[in-house]
């Protein structure tokens, strides 16, 4: 049986770990069925516990942009581990990675390392509040910035009232400081800003969204946000946990030609080990402890083992920027191939793509925000996901996620993937 050992392992995992997973999206709740368990991975391929091979389109949700077990990262981590993994005392390699990252990304002078994208976004919001002396933030429905309380909020009752919790355990007290707007709706943001004049510390956004599938901001929307923030003294926070070091050296700021006030990173910056980061111009970062009063800390933040993976990864990307072009071309090839098959089969679909982020939505209307993305969350998607999985293609197990291509994927892998779509339909 194709998934026998995974099924046994899942039953065992559920005895000791809630839902059998350490992050909900892995449990296949959005697509049905049981998750597979991975034994190992190399390059573009995953191998599950039943020795099935898969072409991997999630790359651990983004980090492994050069493929699994990338040799230069392995070598760096193995060498570093022999000298100790963490000291809780400053090390030179933290400065090396900080210097490299600051050199690759525009508009940042200083960077603070943490251990996840959640920590990066949570800390950036606290710093924005501390820097501006304001309490409220605006976020967008469908954008995900990690699981800290301020972000687990859904639209409140009225268009310009505050949000309401979308998870038990998040208090009304927290929710009142988070305002909800819709992606690509600049008028809605302006209305919120007007109704809360002088009270908004930051607008936090995924500059190219990846948690509603891939959604690209309209030029007028993202430019309008920048202008509004400048005019109102609001900090524009780019959550580049997905886009950072994936869209190019300079991430979404460079790709969209928009200057953010703060940028948050995760995924690629850690090369597959737990690293997050947030960065800004010196004036803002000077407010962060121990230099300034805004507190933020972490036992394993900047640990040399994780830094060694991140340094090897960013060094590879910095020295071979053609990787970004090659990845974008592979993603375009996949997009066109899938679109051709779905059109030929008469399947209603939308495909959104930006750089090496792409998403397939089985709906009639263009996908430009959370509401339109939700229309693609249907049985056709579930049939597609499992049909591809059974043919050895591992896609994100949710209609609200993006594919993340890794550069180890070959054109023959892409061709196989397109052929598999044809077989499903």
Give yes or no for a cis peptide into 290 (omega within 30° of 0).
yes
Whichever of 66 and 242 has its CB closer to ligand KE4, that residue is 242
Which of 134, 136, 145, 353 binds ligand KE4 (CB under 6 A)? It is: 145
Q: Which stretch binds ligand KE4 (CB under 6 A): 142-150, 223-231, 249-257, 297-305?
A: 142-150
Min dist. Cβ of residue 207 to ligand KE4 (A): 10
d(CA 406, CA 414): 11
| Residue 56 in the binding site for ligand KE4 (CB under 6 A) | no
**Residue 56: beta bridge partners?**
394
Least CB distance to ligand KE4 at residue 116 (A): 4
Question: In this chain, which of 117, 248, 250, 397 binds ligand KE4, going by CB under 6 A?
Answer: 117
Nearer to ligand KE4, 61 or 384 (CB): 61
CB of 277 to ligand KE4, least distance (A): 11
The rounded distance, in Å, linking the Cα atoms of 235 and 222 is 14
3-class secondary-structure state, position 357 = strand
Total of residues contacting ligand KE4 (CB under 6 A): 19
Among this protein's residues, is 413 annotated catalytic? no
Across the beta sheet with 403-404, what order do the strands follow? 350-354, 357-361, 403-404
With respect to ligand KE4, which residue has the nearer C-beta, 192 or 269?
A: 269
- Edge-to-edge strands of the sheet including 262-265? 110-114, 276-280, 262-265, 235-239, 200-205, 136-140, 178-181
Pairing status of strand 164-165 against strand 153-154 = antiparallel
Residue 407 annotated to the active site: no
Round to whole Å and give the CA distance between 101 and 318. Answer: 9
Residue with smaller CB distance to ligand KE4, 144 or 384 = 144
Active site residue 14: no
Site map (CB under 6 A) of ligand KE4, residues 345-384, x = contact = ----------------------------------------
**Burial of 254 by CB count in 10 Å (0-12 exposed, 13-18 middle, 19+ buried)?**
middle
CA distance 218 to 4: 46
Structural element, H or E, at residue 73: helix 71-81
Residue closer to ligand KE4 (CB basis): 149 or 232: 149
183 sits near ligand KE4 (criterion: CB under 6 A): no
Helices (H) and strands (E) in the chain, counts: 14, 16
Nearer to ligand KE4, 118 or 308 (CB): 118
Q: How far is the CB of 79 from ligand KE4 (least distance, A)?
A: 25
CB of 314 within 8 A of CB of 269? yes
Q: Verify binding: residue 61, ligand KE4, rule CB under 6 A.
A: yes
Q: Rule CB under 6 A: is residue 206 a binding residue for ligand KE4?
A: yes
Per-position DSSP letters for 179-229, written without gaps between them? EEE-TT-HHHHHHHHHHTTT-EEEEEE-SSB-BTB-BPPPHHHHHHHHHHH
The answer to whether residue 35 forms part of the interface with ligand KE4 (CB under 6 A) is no
CB of 167 to ligand KE4, least distance (A): 14
> Cα–Cα distance between 223 and 54 in angstroms, integer?
40
Q: Output the smallest distance, CB 153 to ligand KE4, in A.
A: 15
Nearer to ligand KE4 among residue 131 and residue 144 (C-beta): 144
Token readout for 333 is 């090839």
Catalytic residue among 267, 330, 382, 384: 267
Residues labelled as active-site residues:
144, 239, 267
Q: Which residues bind ligand KE4 (CB under 6 A)?
A: 23, 25, 61, 116-118, 121, 144-146, 206, 210-211, 239, 241-242, 266, 276, 401
């Amino acid at each position: 049986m194709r998934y026998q050992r995974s099924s046994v392992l899942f039953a065992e995992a559920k005895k000791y770990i809630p839902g059998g997973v350490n992050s909900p999206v892995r449990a296949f709740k959005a697509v049905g069925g049981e998750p597979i368990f991975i034994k190992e991975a190399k390059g573009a391929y995953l191998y599950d516990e039943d020795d099935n091979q898969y072409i991997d389109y999630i790359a651990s949700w983004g980090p492994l942009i050069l493929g699994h077990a990338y040799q230069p990262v392995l070598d760096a981590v193995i060498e570093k581990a022999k000298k100790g993994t963490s000291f809780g005392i400053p090390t030179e390699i933290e400065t090396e990675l900080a210097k490299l990252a600051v050199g690759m990304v525009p508009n940042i002078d200083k960077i603070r390392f943490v251990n996840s994208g959640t920590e990066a976004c949570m800390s950036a919001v606290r710093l924005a509040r501390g820097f501006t002396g304001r309490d409220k933030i605006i976020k967008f429905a469908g954008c995900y910035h990690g699981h800290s309380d301020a972000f687990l909020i859904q639209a409140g009752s009225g268009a310009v009232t505050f949000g309401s919790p979308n998870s038990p355990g998040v208090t009304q007290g927290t929710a009142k400081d988070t305002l909800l707007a819709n992606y690509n709706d600049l008028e809605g943001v302006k209305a919120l800003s007007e109704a809360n004049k002088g009270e908004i510390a930051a607008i936090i956004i995924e500059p190219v969204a990846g948690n509603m599938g891939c959604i690209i901001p309209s030029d007028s929307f993202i430019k309008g946000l920048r202008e509004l923030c400048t005019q109102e003294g609001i900090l524009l926070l780019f959550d580049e946990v997905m886009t950072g070091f994936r869209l190019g050296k300079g991430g979404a700021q460079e790709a969209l030609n928009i200057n953010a006030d703060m940028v948050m990173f995760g995924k690629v910056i850690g090369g597959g080990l737990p690293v997050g980061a947030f960065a800004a111009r010196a004036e803002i970062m000077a407010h962060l402890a121990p230099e300034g009063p805004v507190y933020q800390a972490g036992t394993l933040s900047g640990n040399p083992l994780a830094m060694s993976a991140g340094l090897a990864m960013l060094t590879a990307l910095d020295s071979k920027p053609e990787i970004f072009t090659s990845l974008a071309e592979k993603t375009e090839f996949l997009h066109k191939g899938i679109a051709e098959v779905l059109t030929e089969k008469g399947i209603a679909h939308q495909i959104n793509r930006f750089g090496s982020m792409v998403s397939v939505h089985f709906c009639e209307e263009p996908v430009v925000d959370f509401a339109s993305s939700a229309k693609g969350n249907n049985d056709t998607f579930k049939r597609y996901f499992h049909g591809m999985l059974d043919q050895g293609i591992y896609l994100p197990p949710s209609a609200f996620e993006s594919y993340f291509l890794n550069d180890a994927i070959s054109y023959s892998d892409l061709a196989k993937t397109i052929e598999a779509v044809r077989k499903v339909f």
